[in-house]
């Protein structure tokens, strides 16, 4: 199978610095057709991407990983986004309930090693069940979130999911995101109004104080705010070889070799 490397994406990544998120989403739909989806955890930025996809009338489904221990507010936000934006929501779930997992392996999320295992079982493994279904997965990572996201590119190869990760909001500032949400009355997970700057599972997420880093509420019990679940390729501890295999015609289209839809 032909290979696509991170280096191949570099020219497009430079071009995308000057493009709007909407232009990048249109490009993704045009290039990948029915083989692109958007991954959303129903946080503020993810809801914004959903709103854009809906407003642009793009036929892109939304993939949501239900870990079985999400906040009720997150599940209700997912349902509202699907209903009010007219989007297809694909919900993926772990093989075991949290109760079954705990019975078999204990309370994993209390230790750094257990957290990695738990996030793998409840987040990344369910996502990998769609491996091979999509050549591209849209996300909502922003450099403004800091940490391991502070140099996040628009396009990344994801060697685990075997797809191209697309982050149309990569260079959107906090102020720009807030402005888009206010102007468009984007559906926002109500937990954001209760002090949660980022939102994950109910076992591992707390609100943050005004002077704390944004991710201070994630795995607070494990500290020191450097923990990630590994669902995004730039946040994994070990980066595998930076290439993925894709059909040649998809690579040619992606790199603008066979289409005039280059932006
Ligand atoms: S965030 Fe916590 S509960 Fe959720 S999958 Fe990761 S370790 Fe498990």
Is residue 119 scored above 80 in pLDDT? yes
Using the mean position of ligand 1's atoms as its centre, give its distance from the Cα of residue 51 in Å. Answer: 27
Using the mean position of ligand 1's atoms as its centre, give its distance from the Cα of residue 217 in Å. Answer: 13
Is residue 241 scored above 60 in pLDDT? no
In a domain, 210, yes or no: no
How confident is residue 245, by pLDDT bands cut at 50, 70 and 90? Answer: confident
CATH number for the domain spanning 102: value is: 3.40.50.620
Per-residue burial over 92-105, b if 16 or more Cβ lie within 10 Å, else e, is bebeeebeebeeee
So what's the pLDDT on residue 45? 98
Q: Which domain holds residue 157?
A: 3-194+232-254
The span from the CA of 199 to the CA of 71, in Å, is: 9
In a domain, 148, yes or no: yes
Structural domain count of the chain: 1
In a domain, 263, yes or no: no
**Catalytic positions:** 229
Ligand 1 binding pocket includes 71 (Cβ within 6 Å): no
In a domain, 211, yes or no: no
> Tens digit of pLDDT for each residue in 135-193?
999 999 999 988 888 889 999 999 999 999 999 999 999 999 999 999 999 999 999 99
Ligand 1 binding pocket includes 119 (Cβ within 6 Å): yes
Tokens of 174: 């906090």
pTM, rounded to two decimals:
0.90
In a domain, 71, yes or no: yes
In a domain, 25, yes or no: yes
Q: What is the CA radius of gyration of the chain?
A: 18
Mean pLDDT across the stretch 241-250? 81
């Amino acid at each position: 199978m032909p290979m696509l490397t991170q280096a191949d994406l570099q020219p497009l990544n430079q071009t995308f610095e000057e493009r709007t998120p909407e232009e990048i989403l249109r490009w993704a739909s045009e290039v990948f057709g029915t083989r692109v989806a958007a991954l959303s955890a129903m946080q503020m930025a993810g809801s914004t991407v959903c709103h854009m996809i809906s407003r642009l009338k793009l036929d892109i489904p939304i993939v949501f990983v239900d870990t079985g221990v999400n906040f009720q507010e997150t599940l209700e936000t997912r349902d509202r986004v699907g209903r009010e934006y007219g989007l297809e929501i694909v919900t993926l779930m772990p093989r075991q309930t949290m109760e079954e997992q705990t019975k078999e392996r204990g309370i994993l999320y209390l230790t750094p090693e257990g957290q990695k295992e738990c996030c793998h079982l409840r987040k990344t493994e369910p996502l990998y069940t769609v491996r091979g279904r999509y050549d591209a997965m849209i996300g909502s990572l922003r450099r403004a979130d800091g940490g391991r996201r502070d140099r996040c590119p628009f396009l990344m190869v994801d060697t685990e999911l075997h797809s191209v990760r697309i982050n149309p909001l990569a260079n959107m500032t906090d102020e720009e995101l807030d402005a888009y949400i206010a102007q468009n009355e984007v559906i926002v997970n109500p937990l954001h109004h209760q002090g949660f700057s980022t939102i994950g599972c109910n076992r591992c997420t707390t609100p943050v104080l005004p002077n704390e880093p944004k991710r201070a509420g994630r795995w607070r019990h494990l500290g020191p705010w450097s923990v990630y679940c590994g669902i995004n390729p730039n946040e994994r501890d070990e980066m595998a070889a930076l290439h993925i295999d894709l059909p040649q015609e998809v690579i040619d289209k992606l790199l603008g070799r066979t289409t005039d839809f280059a932006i």
